[in-house]
Each structure stands twice: as structure tokens, then as C-alpha cells.
Structure 1
Amino acid sequence: MKVVISGFYGLGNTGDEAILESIVDNLRSEVPNIDITVFSLSPEQTAREHNVKTVYRAWRRENKEKIKALRNADVLISGGGGLLQDTYPTKFLFGPLPYYLIISMLAKVCGARVMFFSQGIGPVTSTWGKFLMRRFANKADFITVRDQYSKDYLENLKVTRPETVVTADIVFAFQKKHDDACMQSLNLTGGEKLLAVSVRPWFEHNDYEDKLASALDELIEKDDVTPVFVPMEGHHDVDASKRVLAKMENAEACHLLAGDFTPNQYLNFIGACDVTVGLRLHSLIFSALTGVPHIGISYDKKVESLLKRSGMWEYSFRLEELDRDKLVQHTRDVLMNRDALSEKVAENAAVMRKDALENIELLKKHFM
């Protein structure tokens, strides 16, 4: 079976790279003689890291190679992740939404079938984006989405022709390998109460940085926690972490991981922490996967959906409703009840892992 995988790959986003690693590893585990080509912005790096064929993903070069790969493919896997959205400006044929839909239509023209795979849908708010979804997303052969919200969103966009099944984010099927490179990079004694912190740039509500900085200061002073910032998207999150640290009085008690560790290395580190406070979706997924209780700061429905499924929504916040004092108290409550919460999170993650593996089973059922 020959597949092409199209997604936000080769751009240094830990969540998306974890998605790719999960897809590739599970395809190899479950599909005999699988032949994989990935469209990547860093094709040489992606080929080296995953032992796959690669083609440069953007339009500025290797377009003949894209067509050749799609002509040879049995199926295009579009996803996973939040590909079909127009949060970033969509102008005619530019932006993420047109790109992924055009790749899907090109696959159909080339004779390949198309599966939207473990996707989180939306937001799609522009008139042009809604038109593109109605016109082109309905041409997919099969769709799996990572939450009920995404399935409902597709129906609201009038994408009803392909069968759509709710599964879970494919990263819940991540095949973890032991690697403690992150931990080894830090000057720790081994007895710290570790608080993983994941932040990201979000300029519409950048006051969250002040609230988070103040909350961390109190937790350091009164609860003896050791915050470690985990940058999930390279220098973007490193810079956001440094802004929070600059607003703290006890920044010297914190640590900041480098922004170039692998998804598996970040996963191993988060799994060794006592609690996570995070904005990035996949920092929370990594926490759930390893049974680490987590407090999410939700900037998007996809984050809220995950937190409800993991069982940690009651301790979490919508970004615009973040309360500094409640964040401190919730963190204390989580630490006090860590064992029970860890057990609950692990049980919920096991269900989502089963649902995530269903993405692979459905691909086999519909395309082999």
C-alpha cells in the first residue's frame, strides 16, 4: 500500500511532529509493506528522522514531484491536526485551508483516494473558507475527526457527503521510547516537585502572561514547586517562556528547556513531572498519555474538548477567564490529590488511545 501524508510537517511544531511520528509508526506496525511519502517543509530532515520518502510541501518547487507521488499513491492521508481552519488569513488560494484542500483535490485528480485523518476542524469563519469547505471537503472519501465538536462543525459547514467518524487525536497512539535527554539537560537534584509549563504566543490575551507569572511566583514561594518551561514550537515558545520569566520575581527557581528536543524526548520529560500547566494542546495530550494531571488554559475548542475527555476540565480555564488566584488554588488541589487524579487521567487516556488506534483500523477497512 502506498500512502502520501500531508500536514503541517517540517516546521518545528512538536505537536505536529508527534502526529507524524504516530501515523508513521502505527502504519508500519499495522500495514504490511507500507510505502510512505511525506510532504514536508524540511524534506531532508523529515526523511532522516522517519525513514520515509519526502517531497517539499510548498508550491515554490517540486510540484512535478508532488503530482508523481500522488499518481503513485493509493491514498492521501490529510492530517492529522488542525489543518482545516482559517484562523490565519485565507486569501483566494493562500493560507492553510486552501492549501490542504487543493492538495486533496489534486490527489483525487491523480487517481488517489483521500482520507481526512484524525483532524480537528475549524474555526472556519470567512465566506471564502466556508465555500471551499463545501466545495472540496465533500470530495473526501472518508473522514475521521478527533472530537465530537469537529464532527458537528463539519455538519454546520454542510460537509456531509463523506462518512465521518469521531476517534481521538492520533498522538494518543504514540509509541513512546525511553529517552531522558530533557531531564539530563537540566541541573536538578532529583527531589524537586516538577511543574511543566507550556506557553505560546497569544497576543489577543497576552495579560495571561502576567497572571501566570504571578501564580508561579506564589507556588515557588509557598509550595516549593520547580517550574520547567517546555517549548513545544521552537523559538516561538522559547520567546513566550522568556516573557513570562521576565515578569517573575523568582525566575531563578525556574528552568527552560531548549526548543529543539524531539517529541518523544518532551513526552518523556512531561511524564516525569508532577503536574502540567499548559496552553499547547499537545503538552496536555503528552500529560494525559503519561498519567500526569494537568491544568489547561484553553484558547480554542480543541483544547477544551481534550480537557473534558481527559477529566481535567474542572481544574482548567478558558484563556479569557484565567484567574490568578484560582490557578494557584487549582494547582495546589491537583498536587494534593495527584495520585487519584493520575489514575483517572490514565484511565481516560487508555480510552482515547483505543479511539486513536481506530484511525488506523478505519484506514485499513476503507482503503486496503
Structure 2
Amino acid sequence: MEKIRAVCCGYYGQGNAGDEALLASLLQMLPDNVLPLVLSGDPKKTRDRYNVETFSRKAFFPVLKALRQSDVFIWGGGSLIQDATSAVSPLYYAGLMGLAQQQGLKTIAWAQGIGPLNRHLTRWVARNAFAGCSAVSVRDRASATLLRNWKISSIIAPDPVWALDSLPVKGLWDLPAPRVAITLRSHPQLTPTRLNNLTRALIDFQKATETCILLVPFQLNRDYAIAQSIASQLPGPNHIFSLEDPRELKGLFQGVEMAIGMRFHSLIMAASQECRCFALSYDPKVNLLMEELAMPGWDLDQLPDDPNTISKAWLEHYVNGDALTPHQIQSLVDRSLMHRDLLAEALAVG
């Protein structure tokens, strides 16, 4: 069968485990007759990890070369089209989509989480970019509603990382049980005062539960210093896991009783492995996940000022909270495979 060459574009090769998990999920879901060409911030690392052809996402002429060698442009997944941090991200990705369409490529928006889009320009650019796609899948109701208001059809399915394969983690089972994983990230809402309150609450929580605390940075340059700071203050056993393969990150949660996290994909990975989860939200996508899974937690800007209140909430969930049932997890995994089915249909030869 003749190979279809597909440029895969996302926030890949930037050291963010959530986006790496989306890339790994995409590569896992691509039909066998598709040859991926991945645009990456670190082409060598991406090539070595996934054994795929890569091009620098930051260099115009290599990107243009990749487009000219290809048949399809796959755009996603995740929160690529949002202007909460800056207007640059949606303009960059929509610009690449427009360039791909100018080159005559079939364009697919895959597993998108759209928004927030606060600027008129970025909303206009996003609407036109999605309107030019041959197929669109989204991962949440808010994104589907936005596209429906724009008269753009899409399918909605849970984030594809629900279906990502997992790999065992060396050394995990040598650590004392039970284990609780913590995934915090640098963010303006995680002020020094809030981080101190969370750390003090975690100290009390560990004393009460005698758990081993696993600190899991999902993006080293944003998360590792926070993990180190917490680890230096914990009274009991703890370990920092700096894992680069997203399949290992998902496998880590197989040995965890409960996860307390800010990172969106850490909560998905943990929930998929039957962990009890407690969310600390900094972003609407985390709030949507909390709502959809009935997951307890707080918005960071509403975090209690009293560490004892925080610790008691964690203890209550640790003792009496419920993880997703195997049936619920399997349903989410099965429905997330709709993103795979969209690829198969859109890339079918004929």
C-alpha cells in the first residue's frame, strides 16, 4: 500500500510531558499506511524517542520542505488555539494550517481543546483555520459548542491520552507503599504563599498517612524547582521522578494510590490507572475535566489559606474518596478512540 506522508504539528519537542503524551497518542493512532513527519522543538530527541522523521518547528524553510513532501497536515492535539498566554500561539498554528492548505494538503484538526480566545483577531483567525479543515475532533464540550456556533462540524471524544499505552517504571516498586503522586507546575496563581500552604498541608498529610510522596515534574524547566522545594521539607519517604517518555509517566500511576495535581494530563493519566484524584485548577480545561469526572479539587485562586483545611480535604479523599471504576475507565478509553477513527476515515485512500 502506498504510504501517505503526514506532517504532525503540535507543541512537540518542548519538554512538556502533556504535549509529548499527545504526540505519542497520535503516533499510536495513525493508520499503518501513514508516514509521520513531526515538527519538533527538539528534532533529534523526537526522532530518537519515536523513530520518526522530524523537522524543526522553529525554522521556516525546513517546515516548508516538510509540507512540500507531504499529503496531509495533522494539527493537534491539545490547547494550541488559545490566547490566554499570548496571541502568538494561535497565530503560529493557524498560519501553518493556512500554509499547508496553500500547498494543497488535506488538513485535519485533531483532539483540539480550543480557547480561551479573548481577542477578536485570534477568534477570527481560529474560525477561518478550523473552517478550512477536512475533519475536526475536539476533546471537550466547550470546544464543540464553540465550533457549532461557528457552523463547523466536529466530533467530540475524551482526550486521546486516555488510550495511550503505558510502560513500567524502573525503581517504582522498590519505593515503600502506599504512594501518593504530586504534580505541580509554575504558574502566576501558584504564589509563594500558596505553595507554602500546599507544602505545609502535604507535610501534615504525609505524617497522618505514612505515605511515600512521589513528586512528578511534567516540564522540568517549570516544575522541577517546585518538586525539589517540597521534597526538601517532607518528613517522610519521597522521590522525584523525572521521566521523559510519556508512556512511562502513565505507567507510574499504576503504582499510586492517589494523585494531587495541577497538570491536566497528569490527572487523566492517574484517573486512567484507577487512582483517586484531587485537582488544583489553574485553567478552564482542568475545571472541565473536574466537572466531567466529578473530581474534587479547588481553583488555585480559591485555595484555602489554612494548610490544615487543605490537609483535611486530602485525607478525606484519601480515606473515603472513589477512583473511577474499571467500567468507567474502559468507556473513556473506548470513546477516546474516536480520534483514531477520525484519522482512519480522513486518511482513507480513495
With the length of structure 1 as denominator, give the TM-score of the two structures: 0.87
- 1:50 matched to 2:63: no
Aligned equivalent of 1:70, options 44, 63, 67: 67
Q: CA deviation at 1:72?
A: 3.3
Q: Is contact 1:292–1:345 with CA below 8 Å preserved after alignment? A: no
> Secondary structure of 1:307's match?
helix
Give unpaired runs (5+ residues) of structure 2: none
Deviates more, 1:283-292 or 1:63-72: 63-72
Q: CA deviation at 1:175?
A: 1.4
- 1:16 matched to 2:19: yes
- 1:351 matched to 2:331: yes
Q: CA deviation at 1:83?
A: 0.5
Counterpart CA distance in 2 for 1:300 and 1:88 is: 11
Which residue in 2 is equivalent to 1:131?
A: 124
Task: Describe how 1:211-360 pairs up with structure 2 within 5 A.
Answer: 211-245=197-231, 248=233, 251-312=234-295, 315-323=296-304, 324-337=307-320, 341-342=322-323, 344-360=324-340
Deviates more, 1:126-135 or 1:99-108: 126-135
Give unpaired runs (5+ residues) of structure 1: none
Q: Is contact 1:288–1:345 with CA below 8 Å preserved after alignment? A: no
Q: CA deviation at 1:258?
A: 4.3
Which residue in 1 is equivalent to 2:80?
A: 83
Q: Is contact 2:21–2:246 with CA below 8 Å preserved after alignment? A: yes
Which residue in 2 is equivalent to 1:204?
A: 189
Give the 3 Å change call, closer, same or farther, for CA 193–328 of structure 1 in structure 2. same
Which residue in 2 is equivalent to 1:144?
A: 137
Q: Is contact 1:296–1:317 with CA below 8 Å preserved after alignment? A: yes
Counterpart CA distance in 1 for 2:256 and 2:136 is: 35
Task: Describe how 1:18-37 pairs up with structure 2 within 5 A.
Answer: 18-27=21-30, 31-37=31-37
Which residue in 1 is equivalent to 2:165?
A: 175
Give the 3 Å change call, closer, same or farther, for CA 333–289 of structure 1 in structure 2. same
Q: Is contact 1:231–1:259 with CA below 8 Å preserved after alignment? A: yes
Which residue in 1 is equivalent to 2:347?
A: 367
- Counterpart AA for 2:63: K
Q: CA deviation at 1:300?
A: 1.2
Give a deviation string over 1:295-331, Cα, whole Å, max 9, x none: 011111211222233332xx21112122344432332
Identity %: 25
Q: CA deviation at 1:217?
A: 1.4
Counterpart CA distance in 2 for 1:210 and 1:366 is: 49
Q: Is contact 2:111–2:139 with CA below 8 Å preserved after alignment? A: yes
- Counterpart AA for 1:295: F
Give a deviation string over 1:245-287, Cα, whole Å, max 9, x none: 56x4xx2425242434421222222220110000001110110
Q: Is contact 1:137–1:159 with CA below 8 Å preserved after alignment? A: no
Counterpart CA distance in 2 for 1:348 and 1:330 is: 24
- 1:122 matched to 2:115: yes
Which residue in 2 is equivalent to 1:112?
A: 105
Q: How many residues align?
A: 342
Q: Is contact 1:310–1:348 with CA below 8 Å preserved after alignment? A: no
Q: What's the RMSD between the two structures over aligned residues? A: 2.0
Counterpart CA distance in 2 for 1:303 and 1:345 is: 20
Deviates more, 1:164-173 or 1:122-131: 122-131
Aligned equivalent of 1:164, options 151, 154, 158: 154
Q: CA deviation at 1:237?
A: 0.4
Aligned equivalent of 1:101, options 94, 100, 123: 94
- Counterpart AA for 2:16: N
Q: CA deviation at 1:127?
A: 2.7
- Counterpart AA for 2:189: E
Counterpart CA distance in 1 for 2:344 and 2:13 is: 26
